[in-house]
Structure 1
Amino acid sequence: MKIINASILENASNTEFEQCDMHCRIILIILYSVVLLGGITGMVMMSCLMFKRNSQSVVATFVLNIIALHSILLVSLPFRVSYYFSVTWDLGSFTCRMVSSIIYSHMYFTFVFYVAIVILRLLIYFRKLQMQQLKKRHAIVSSLIIWVVGSLIFLPVFFLQYGTDTSHLEQQRCFEFYRDLNRREIIILNYSMIVIIMSMVVILFLVQLVVIFQLIKALWPDMWTHQEYRAQIKSFFFLLVIVVCFIPHHAFRVYFIQNYSGRENSKLVLYNEICVALTTVCCLDMLCFTGGVIHYNF
């Protein structure tokens, strides 16, 4: 903590970095560092386990996609940690926008794969889909569709809409794209995403709870010996990750949009940055699987 001392504070003042003060930066450095270390550990351990098992299931393929997404995000985190230590950004606007886009693309792509796993298992439970009908090629094709469609939608929106105000880059600052929330099209885009994600999570969460309670009622007290129950519990775990890591960001986004008017508000920016950083905590999901919190067998 001594690294962030008076000289850095003076540098922060010179670059008008009051939007995220010392307290804000310490929280973000700690949070990103924990995610970086825990995420790398979880990725390595889960990758070894999955390649050792060589699973051909659809869910396992989706999980490999999630591991790839986590790996991309983890590569970008040292840039963020370094920035909050030095309080300056010397890598240019394109790199700033790229690193910024990774954290959002990771959140939305990971959300899609989480939801795909949950819906797949619900369809199997309700006998709308037979596991025997699913081949690895189906999972690969589905994954490619998600990547291609998601990229065609996300990348143009982010690079054409977000980060158009580059005044903060002239002062060697980065990750301040919340400034674009004063624009009507950005507000509409954010509200649309919030409504879609919130609605989908509430519906899936309620359906998943009903399924789990039905299984408990039917299989009690030996439900943990049944693969179907364990599969639904793993789906519920993914939903919990969404609720804990992604929902706070979108819920606070509503408050942020309504109260951010372009005036500097360090508390508002602090909470917004923490909510953004919280989305990266989902990278610890694989650590939970390998650590035995949730059975990792896919």
Structure 2
Amino acid sequence: MELINTTTLPNSFTAKLDTCDLRCRMILIVLYSVVLLGGTAGTVMMSRMMFKRNSQSLIAIIIINIIVLHSILLVTLPFRLSYYVSVVWDFGPFTCRLVSSIIYGHMYLTFVFYVAIVIFRLLNYFKKLQMQCLQKYHMVALCIFIWMVGSFIFLPIFFLHYGIDPSHSQQQRCFEFHKAFNHGHFNVLNYSMVAIMMTTVVALFLVQMVVIYQLIKALWPDMWSHQEYRAQIKSCFFLLVIIVCFIPHHAFRIYFIQKYPESNNSELVLYNEICVALTTVCCLDMLCFIGGVIH
């Protein structure tokens, strides 16, 4: 059965279908379906495990926040799947803006919590922070602070700037906010986010490699029997998720910002949507927890 009957759509809308053709939509449908099913299974099972253990450790509290973030994103994925299957948006312009913006809010807040885990473990290794000295209310306060800062940044952008152009409110279309790249202040914001994420990941990755090298040299050949070595290896998992899921989108965004306003190339939109969808794959991290990759 065909995914869409173009004869039922207005001519002006049909002309826009080339911004995401059948191949693009199939990739997005498969990707979002895998994330929805795997992410839902992972968050449900991980939530049950955390509830049974009733752990109040630093890492456990951060993981709970990541579960909440994943749950918010997963709720929006059926809307995206509906749109890419039918190529018709029936949920109104506000819902379109909300669904579109949540994927970015999820990405950046998840990035912050991943980085927090890596930094805390590095500080613990360098004896700058003793995990035992941290009380539960310290971590709760930190997580509340992260959510508040994220809200203060996200909400003004969403209500005052994101997708408010009248052309975005046309019926039956969604996720075409890349047209805002014609505005200079959005480019500055995007370049800043790319620079922050790239610099943070490179710096943490280099420090992490130095730490692992030192541990291997000191503990060889029995390093796997030492908890400190295993903890630092596990931190690499979070950096790997960032590199695989978030970095491709940010690397391509630089090229997209520079080329799209000049060429108005629908192929660029296609690849950008796939890179955006790739950021949601981080929701499968909970399956890795359940599978024993991270404990």
Corresponding position: 1:252 with 2:252: yes
Task: Quote the offset at 1:256 in angstroms.
Answer: 0.2
What's the counterpart of residue 148 of structure 1? 148
Amino acid of the residue matched to residue 226 of structure 1? H
Task: Quote the offset at 1:227 in angstroms.
Answer: 1.3
Amino acid of the residue matched to residue 237 of structure 1? F
Change in CA separation of 1:14 and 1:183 when aligned onto 2, cut-off 3 Å: closer
Task: Quote the offset at 1:228 in angstroms.
Answer: 1.0
What's the counterpart of residue 234 of structure 1? 234
Task: Quote the offset at 1:263 in angstroms.
Answer: 5.1
For each residue in 1:85-136, what CA deviation from the matched residue of structure 2 results, as whole angstroms up to 9, or x when unmatched?
1111121111111111110000000000001111111000000011111111
Which moved further from structure 2: 259-268 or 83-92? 259-268
What's the counterpart of residue 266 of structure 1? 266
Amino acid of the residue matched to residue 276 of structure 2? V
**Residues paired across the two proteins, number:** 293
* Uncovered stretches (5+) of structure 2, i.e. residues with no partner: none
CA distance in 1, matches of 2:12, 2:250: 32
Using structure 1 for the length normalisation, give the TM-score: 0.94
Identity %: 68
CA distance in 2, matches of 1:284, 1:13: 39
Task: Quote the offset at 1:12 in angstroms.
Answer: 8.1
Whether the 8 Å contact between 2:92 and 2:171 is mirrored in structure 1 is: no
CA distance in 1, matches of 2:212, 2:183: 43
What's the counterpart of residue 210 of structure 2? 210
Amino acid of the residue matched to residue 170 of structure 1? Q
Amino acid of the residue matched to residue 3 of structure 2? I
Task: Quote the offset at 1:166 in angstroms.
Answer: 3.5
What's the counterpart of residue 222 of structure 2? 222
What's the counterpart of residue 185 of structure 1? 185
Whether the 8 Å contact between 2:168 and 2:177 is mirrored in structure 1 is: no
Which moved further from structure 2: 280-289 or 225-234? 225-234
Secondary structure of 1:260's counterpart equals helix
CA distance in 2, matches of 1:295, 1:193: 28
What's the counterpart of residue 11 of structure 1? 9
CA distance in 2, matches of 1:241, 1:251: 15
Amino acid of the residue matched to residue 295 of structure 1? I
What does 1:1-298 align with in structure 2 at a 5 Å threshold? 2-5=1-4, 7-8=5-6, 11=9, 15=13, 16-261=16-261, 264-292=264-292, 294-296=293-295
CA distance in 2, matches of 1:222, 1:45: 33
Secondary structure of 1:132's counterpart equals helix
Indicate the RMSD between aligned Cα atoms, in angstroms: 1.5
Which moved further from structure 2: 259-268 or 229-238? 259-268
CA distance in 2, matches of 1:125, 1:235: 12
Amino acid of the residue matched to residue 4 of structure 1? L
Task: Quote the offset at 1:262 in angstroms.
Answer: 6.5
Whether the 8 Å contact between 1:70 and 1:106 is mirrored in structure 2 is: yes
Change in CA separation of 1:42 and 1:59 when aligned onto 2, cut-off 3 Å: same
Amino acid of the residue matched to residue 294 of structure 2? H
Secondary structure of 1:207's counterpart equals helix
CA distance in 2, matches of 1:262, 1:179: 11
Change in CA separation of 1:198 and 1:12 when aligned onto 2, cut-off 3 Å: farther
Using structure 2 for the length normalisation, give the TM-score: 0.95
Secondary structure of 1:91's counterpart equals coil
Moved over 2 A (4+): 8-14
Whether the 8 Å contact between 2:163 and 2:177 is mirrored in structure 1 is: yes
CA distance in 1, matches of 2:238, 2:11: 42
